Amino acid sequence: MKELSRRLLVKPGSRTRLADFDPDEVLNLDKETGLLRLKENVERLAVLQYLLYAEAKRSLLVVLQGIDAGGKDGTIRNVLTGLNPQGVRVTPFKVPEGEETRHDYLWRIHRALPEHGQIGIFNRSHYEEVLVVRVHDLVPKAIWSQRYQQINEFERMLTENGVTIVKFLLYISKEEQLQRFHDRIEDKSKNWKFSEADLKERIHWDEYMDAYDDMLRKTSTEHAPWYVIPANRKWFRNAAVSQILLDAMEGMELRAPAPLADLSKLKFE
């Protein structure tokens, strides 16, 4: 399955565009196999999380980005369901408010980073500062255009200090987004998730796609790569994200630390 990670990776320095990906793509997987792979991956991720927690010297940061209804909540719920809640922190980033507005844009991001031994999950992230800020012209281009390099340097600093970063862009089609909005309206239990603002944002679809393209090209790096996840089919989205996370954690070569005492000399009375 490492082939899956390779196929969805945005190679640093490439001219990758979202148009190069098919949101319906399943990379020759069928649903039954995908669901089985997800189950196996979730079980293995739980083992690796335990080792990460026991080692307590490094951490994992998972960044989830995507258009409205792209599946960020569903990914968290389905892929990370088997992890120990004590070692996971999910942070949703909404419009900055209060104290957040009185600091630089990375301040609230730094505050939410996972401690050693922990997994941090960002539901949206610092990348809003080159997405929604750009699309809605909230700050001049001269300001937001500098943020790509600032973010790269920030993420490099994190990786040099023990944070493994994996970034996912959940990619759905415009038609799939509209269907999911309809589902939220028809299912009373999901009415709360729908906002008229979501429909207004669809007007800016093409502008968001351009912003995503620049984000991918300018901030997919060797130390903090982006993966584009075709997310029209939720089962494939979950299988793909779980596999890439598994590959990343396996690559950390986690080991349980040596015992603090010489266990061979202990005597129990």
- Is 267 part of any domain? no
- Residue 258 covered by a domain: no
Using CA atoms, how far apart are residues 267 and 45, in angstroms rounded to an integer? 35
Is position 94 within any domain?
Answer: yes
Q: How far is CA 42 from CA 36, 47, 58, 170, in A?
A: 10, 9, 20, 19
Q: Give the pLDDT band (50/70/90) at residue 81.
A: confident
Question: How many independent structural domains does the chain possess?
Answer: 1
Residue 269 has pLDDT above 70, yes or no: no
* Residue 28 binned pLDDT confidence (cut-offs 50, 70, 90): very high
Q: Is residue 241 part of a domain?
A: yes
Model pLDDT for residues 191-222, shown as the tens digit of each residue: 887 888 888 899 999 999 999 999 999 999 99
The answer to whether position 264 is within a domain reads no
User: Per the domain annotation, does 93 fall within a domain?
Assistant: yes
pLDDT band of residue 100 (cuts 50, 70, 90) is very high
pLDDT digits (tens, 9 = 90+) for 108-122: 999 999 999 999 999
pLDDT tens-digit readout, 216-232: 999 999 999 999 999 99
- Would you say 57 and 162 are in contact if contact means Cβ atoms under 8 Å apart? yes
Which residue range(s) make up the domain with 79?
Answer: 2-253
Q: Where residue 172 falls among pLDDT bands split at 50, 70, 90?
A: very high
Find out whether 100 and 107 touch, Cβ atoms under 8 Å.
yes
**The domain spanning residue 87 has which CATH number?**
3.40.50.300
Q: Is residue 263 part of a domain?
A: no
Give yes or no for residue 267 having a pLDDT over 80: no
pTM above 0.85, yes or no: yes
In a domain, 260, yes or no: no
